[in-house]
Each structure stands twice: as C-alpha cells, then as structure tokens.
Amino acid sequence: MSRLLRDSAERHVKKTLQLMQKGKPEEALKELEIAEKNAFKAKANDIFLNVQTIKGRIMLSLGAYEEALEVHTLSLKTIEKYIYKDPANEFSRSIFQANLEAIDTLSDVFHSIGHFSQAKSCCELNLSIYTRFLDNEPENVEYQLNVAVALNNLGNLLSDMGQTKEAKNRYPSFGR
C-alpha cells in the first residue's frame, strides 16, 4: 500500500512540474496537494519535503509571500533535523539549501515592497540557522561566509529601516 502511495506521490510531483513549466501554477498546486497527501500517508519524508519546497516556490511565484514564508520555514525546521543526523546526505542538503535560498528571496521581496518586519524575520531565521551550523563547525569556511552574508543582509535591512543604532548594538562591527 505505501509503495503505491509513494509511486502516486511521485507521479503527481512530476505532473506538478510539468504544469509549472506550462505556466499553470494554480493547477500545479492542485496536483501538489494530492502528492502531499499521498507522500504523508506513505511516510515518504523525502517526497514530502520536496513537495513542501515546490509548494513554497509556487506560492512565491503567485505572490502569496506570507504563505511561502510559512511553508519554507516549516520545511527548514523539519529538514534541519535530518541534516544534523546525516550531514553528508546530498538530498537533505539540496532541499535544505533550496529552502534557505527561498527564504533569502522572500527577504529581498519583502524588503523591496516595504514589508520590513517580514524581511527582518527572514534575515534573522537564516542568520540563526547559519550560526547553529557554524557553532557546530567553527572552522568551516562556507559557514563563516554564510554567517557574514546573513549579518550583512540584516545590517543593510536595519539601516534601511532607520535602525542603525540597533544594528550597531546587535552587531558591533556594523558601520566600521
């Protein structure tokens, strides 16, 4: 039974991607709902997480930014557990990275349309995740770079919000 559900979920994900390529995001979401239900019933976590990532991207493309943020945030929190258990797992890392990139994109979108509090939430979420990884591997140059970029993005946002004092208090190297 779970094999049939898994196969069905995979077929619906493929159909979702085809509909997205044809520029039919609303129809793609309907297919994705079926894939999501079947993946959940089959306990196919890999497919389920992939579905969530795709769902967030569709929501972003439809301009449903709050919903996209919610989906990507939940995906990140879920996939993070897998990353800590098996950091070499390429699938988990790729899904994780796709969600982090989506949160970055959402931060930029929120910033550009003047929704600063949402942009700040995105920046702080990425910073907290990157910081946790850096805490586990302080010598990892990629993690160091990710934290530096996240700090820079947050500092720029706070500056644009007119909160340079907060930026300087939270991040003493800001503004030097």
CATH number, domain of 116, equals: 1.25.40
Domains held by the chain: number = 2
Residue 168 Cα distances to 120, 175, 176, angstroms: 15, 7, 9
The boundaries of the domain holding residue 56 are: 1-62
63: helix, strand or coil: coil
pTM of the model: 0.76
- Residues 4 and 25 both lie in one domain: yes
Q: What pLDDT shows up at residue 174?
A: 47
Alpha helices, DSSP H, located in the chain: 2-21, 25-41, 45-61, 65-85, 90-112, 116-136, 141-160, 164-170
pLDDT tens column, 15-62: 999 999 999 999 999 999 999 999 999 999 889 989 999 999 999 999
- Residues 51 and 33 both lie in one domain: yes
pLDDT tens column, 131-176: 988 888 899 898 899 899 988 888 889 988 888 887 777 665 544 4
- Residues 73 and 143 both lie in one domain: yes
